[in-house]
Amino acid sequence: MTVSVQVSPAIDAEHIAHQREWSIRTFGPGTRTEGVLNHIAKELDEIRAAPLDLSEWAGVILLALDGAHRTGATPQAIIDAVKSEQARNEARQWPDWQTAPTDRAIEHVRRESR
């Protein structure tokens, strides 16, 4: 049996809603936080083994969307949260990447509280 999937040119609220419906149908309802995190950990191991394999990176993105919708957030709330987090990151101060080890996270500069 061949399954035909219509692909939208964008990851939008409709796409996230479709992914949510498929995930609940396939993996069941509820938060499933530990299961999602376990699956992300496995995907990260696969990325370490094949860091240029785009499909492995896409798997992490899909799992992150799965975890996000399982918080009870609407598709638009997930989109808004992603955009908000990007804006927050862009507003932060970051150290010079050229001085950072390539095998460690580069974290934003944290301001000391007085």
Is it the case that residue 5 has pLDDT exceeding 80? no
Q: State CA 104 to chain mean position distance.
A: 19
Going by pLDDT thresholds of 50, 70 and 90, the confidence category of residue 112 is confident
Going by pLDDT thresholds of 50, 70 and 90, the confidence category of residue 10 is confident
User: In the chain, where are the structural domains located?
Assistant: 33-78
Percentage of residues of the chain with pLDDT beyond 70: 91
Q: What is the dihedral of CA 69, 74, 78, 81, to 10 degrees?
A: -130
Q: Report pLDDT for 113.
A: 63
Name the more confident of 113 and 34: 34
Going by pLDDT thresholds of 50, 70 and 90, the confidence category of residue 61 is very high
CA angle 58, 59, 63 (to 5 degrees): 115
- Give, as one character, the DSSP assignment of residue 3: -
